[in-house]
Structure 1
Amino acid sequence: MTTPRSTSETAPPGCPAHASAPTAERLYGAEFAADPMASYTRLRARGSLAPVEIAPGVHAWLVTGYDRALEVLRSPERFSKDPRRWRALADGTVPPDSPVVPMMMYRPNALWTDGQEHSRLRGAITDSLGRVDPDALRGYVEQIADTLIDRIGPEGRADLLSEYAAVLPLLVFNRLFGCPPDIGDKLVEGMSGIFDADADSEKANAVLTEGVAELVALKRREPGPDVSSWLMAHPARLTDEEMMHQLVVLMGAGTEPQQNLICNGLRLLLSDDRFAGDLAGGSMPVDDAIDEVLWTDPPLANYAIHYPLRDMEIEGNLVYEGTPLLISLAAANTGTGLSGDRRAGNRAHLAWSAGPHTCPAKGPARLIAAAALEKLLDRLPDIELAVPAADLRWRPGPFHRALVSLPVRFPPIRALLPDRVR
């Protein structure tokens, strides 16, 4: 596949509209990871969508306008979620070992299907997640958080990413989905690898596949009061392959983005004067911080991939059928012009997507993040960043907004409970 083309490329020679192809903005590498907003600013200057390169030789359109994003997200009659329509992958222009393929390839799950099949698979997910008791979920999170804080508390310093935010969602997932720790370790290794642009994506995908296959086989033998077993028993009658792929999409939503939401929220609370003052005064504005992160630093910054069902012209750009359109949830949100005080309590952001594919787990995801933040700030009220916020580094990759680490320091505390969580 070539770089997405505009009408100027297809105009006859001599026509005033004839011009060179627009340069595709790179959404990968250290420069983009360090300052994605600079890229979004340049892209928005071109209109509500622009050509991008999301990995070497992998081209797409990025939707940066809020209204245009809603148009794509809410128009399944014009834009499909099915990656089998991705022409450049089908014809070999994009090789199967490209680092972005595991995050974009077809899987028979609710994320990558349309119409009745999407409704059937999504119904199984929403019904099964609907059986989770929010009070019990909060209790799980608080218990796990206490155990993790007990581990780091006596040290007086920690990397909150590797020792808290990355561990807590995995342990919550294991509890909710009836997943033993050995399988959970495989799942998180595989899932982290397919998000990370610098990892061996094929190997990571193989590890992930192995882990979910083991979990499905276990739940067939030993069903229990957990989301995996409820999915299995749902009237949708999911096959083992469908079970595996629903678990992959739920794992994908429930671990890596969840850790990013927790970490990005903590970074904001510990570095932004708008929140630091409230913390010093004893109030923990966690809900406001989560809203701010979902507006300005959403855990999935560029995703919600769609494929045009036919060639179409958008703002003078000829967008070909089967070309990926990524929604820049971050650029669309920050391009609305809403100031920080107008964002507080406003949940019209696109961090959970919109339309038929709105995230079905946004309630539990927000609850987990809020409980994790509240418990940490309650137990470690004098916590502070161990390095200047400007020195924090971000992981490269076109899809996520993820810190490399989050070093903090605090007055040491004693453990409250025996360590019983694994």
Structure 2
Amino acid sequence: MTTPRPSRDAVPPLGCPAHTGARTAERLYGPGFAADPMASYTRLRAHGSVAPVEISPGVRAWLVTGYETALEVLRSPERFSKDPRRWQALADGTVPADSPVVPMMMYRPNALWTDGEEHGRLRGAITDSLGRLDPNALRGYVEASADTLIDRIGPKGRADLLNEYGAVLPLLVFNQLFGCPPDIGDKLVEGMSGIFDADADSEKANGLLTEGVAELVALKRRHPGPDVASWLMAHPAQLTDEEMMHQLVLLMGGGTEPQQNLICNGLRLLLSDDRFAGDLAGGSMPVEDAVDEVLWTDPPLANYAIHYPLHDLELDGTLVCEGEPILISLAAANTDPDLARDRRTGNRAHLAWSAGPHTCPAKGPARLIAEVALEKLLDRLPDIELAAPVGELEWRQGPFHRALASLPVRFPPISPADGPAGGSEGITNPARSSSIPPAPASTASEPGSANVARHRWWSFLARWWHG
């Protein structure tokens, strides 16, 4: 229900007690929130499904914790916009441009932050390009990449699976699927990780990300190949260089940090929850069930899907003014007490991928990569166990993600696997990956320079392998 718009002078600041019925804004940052976000969600639910929060010092927003209210926002583009240029506190300087959360919320001309026809054009280019991936071939490449990483940690008998597996595997997959050489890939991953991390230099991270993606676009203009970046560039949507850059940043955002979190949160669950441990001991690896459980209870992006009301309105009884950011707590909505628990069993109606017109277009590949990563690790290291009590694992700080700081494990040492998939031979002398279908993008055959770029990429991995 909409309400007549009061004068701006009559509207107290977001989170002001006069505006929210004496409610103070819950902080979604700091070590306390990182360690136990569910406690914050419980306190917020006491005031209804919409409540004021502070996502960084001095940065206020609304957080939706109710499942049905979340769907109302996500599925109502006629009432809620995705365009951050409507964020009035940023536009008028109340929120400084150098705030650490701005890089994750600022306008970029991509499919995430646009509405209507423009959103349809950009999303169509992404969906069509991702649709050219062969899932079976992608599975084979992820398995080979996982074997490479497991061969490296296997002889040691212990590892930090976050830094030595979960964070590296998406990088290998991204570099291959997007035809990205390592020097550019390093910039993209470091920049993207920085804008997710509340303690990082957000301006530096954003600059590094911009630099890396500009270099990748320039490379693909000169030397297109059979990869997602080149297919996106050759799409009938005729994306400009700037649009290309921003679609790649969007895909990068979903392909590195959240993917890493999904893999590691899944491993944490499989190695600590008796339900899954019992099945593992019985010879069954319920990886799909574990991934579903994580997506319901610990989604890699816990609070995001940001929207802005097109006008002052009531949302589940709470007045929300035009231009105030509304975050969807995907984690809280999925665990809404009003959502019958049996509705979560065996179904995928969670909101981890969002919903409505901006639902994640890459959820199929993302889920496949995570499941294969978990399957391969548990297959190669069946006696793996956590090297620290699950309750002592540390979570990274930040309002948006649900991310472990490390995942220490131990296991009986193993030797590298035989054959081309394992050992350093699989790095220095690889066959051409079959993860990418052979269909060309804008050229009939791959240019010779692409072979040079691939050689540089594998040379980088060889140097990494040997330390």
TM over 0.5: yes
State how 1:298-377 maps to structure 2 within 5 Å: 298-336=299-337, 343-377=344-378
* 8 Å CA contact 1:178, 1:228 repeated in 2: yes
Does the aligned pair in 2 maintain the 1:52–1:60 contact within 8 Å?
yes
Matching residue's letter, 1:418:
G
Shift of 1:316: 3.7
Q: How does 1:358-397 map to 2 (within 5 A)?
A: 358-397=359-398
Secondary structure, aligned partner of 2:112? helix
CA distance in 2, matches of 1:398, 1:178: 32
* Structure 2 contact 189–256 (Cα < 8 Å) conserved: yes
CA–CA distance in structure 2, aligned partners of residues 344 and 405 of structure 1: 29
**1:45 to partner: Cα distance:** 1.1
Question: SS of the residue aligned with 2:398?
Answer: coil
| 2:423 corresponding residue in structure 1 | 418
Q: Deviations over 1:98-149 (max 9, x none)?
A: 0000000000000000000000000000000000000111011000000000
What displacement does 1:346 show? 1.0
Pick which of 82-91 and 411-420 moved more: 411-420
Report the alpha carbon displacement of residue 343 of structure 1 after superposing the two structures with TM. Answer: 2.6
Distance 2:317 2:245 in 1: 42
Matches of 1:5 and 1:31 in 2, distance apart?
Answer: 20
Corresponding residue SS for 1:97: coil
- Deviation for aligned residue 1:281: 1.3
Percent identical pairs in the alignment equals: 82
Aligned residue for 1:111, secondary structure, equals: coil
> What is the aligned partner in structure 1 of residue 87 from structure 2?
86
- Measure the CA separation in 1 of the matches of 2:157 and 2:247: 40
Mapped partners of 1:304, 1:290: distance in 2: 21
Paired letter, 1:4:
L
User: Is residue 34 of structure 2 the alignment partner of residue 33 of structure 1?
Assistant: yes
Pairwise CA distance, 1:330: 0.3
Query: 1:22: how far off?
Result: 1.6
Partner of 1:42: 43
Q: Distance in 2 between matches of 1:229 and 1:172?
A: 16
1:190–1:205 Cα contact (<8 Å) kept: yes
Q: Contact conserved, 2:155 with 2:416, CA < 8 A, in 1?
A: yes
Alignment of 1:87-126 (within 5 A): 87-126=88-127
Instruction: State the partner residue of 1:248.
Output: 249
Aligned pair partner of 1:4 in 14, 23, 48: 14
- Tell me if the contact between 2:393 and 2:407 (Cα under 8 Å) persists in the aligned partners: yes
Residue 283 of structure 1: aligned partner: 284
Partner of 1:257: 258
- Cα deviation per residue 1:11-34 (whole Å; 9 max; x = unaligned)? xxxxxxxx8642000000000000
* 3-state SS of paired residue (1:113): coil
Code of the residue aligned with 2:415 in structure 1: it is R
Q: Which amino acid aligns with 1:152?
A: I
In 1, Cα distance between equivalents of 2:423 and 2:411: 21
- Given that residues 3 and 60 in structure 1 are in contact (C-alpha distance below 8 angstroms), is that contact kept between their aligned partners in structure 2? no
Structure 1 gap segments, 5+ residues each? 11-18
Which segment drifts farther, 151-160 or 334-343? 334-343
Contact 1:79 1:308 in 2 (8 A): yes
1:18-167 correspondence runs (5 A): 21-167=22-168
- What letter is aligned with 1:117? E
How many angstroms apart in 2 are the aligned matches of 1:393 and 1:50? 27
CA deviation after TM superposition for structure 1 residue 354, in Å: 0.2
SS at match of 1:378: helix
Over 3 Å counting, the alpha-carbon distance change for 1:238 and 1:257 in structure 2 is same
Distance in 2 between the 1:142 and 1:123 partners? 29
Q: Which runs of 5+ in 2 are unaligned?
A: 1-10, 428-457, 462-467
Which secondary structure state, in structure 1, belongs to the residue aligned with residue 409 of structure 2? Answer: strand
Q: What stretches of structure 1 move > 3 A for 4+ residues in a row?
A: 336-342
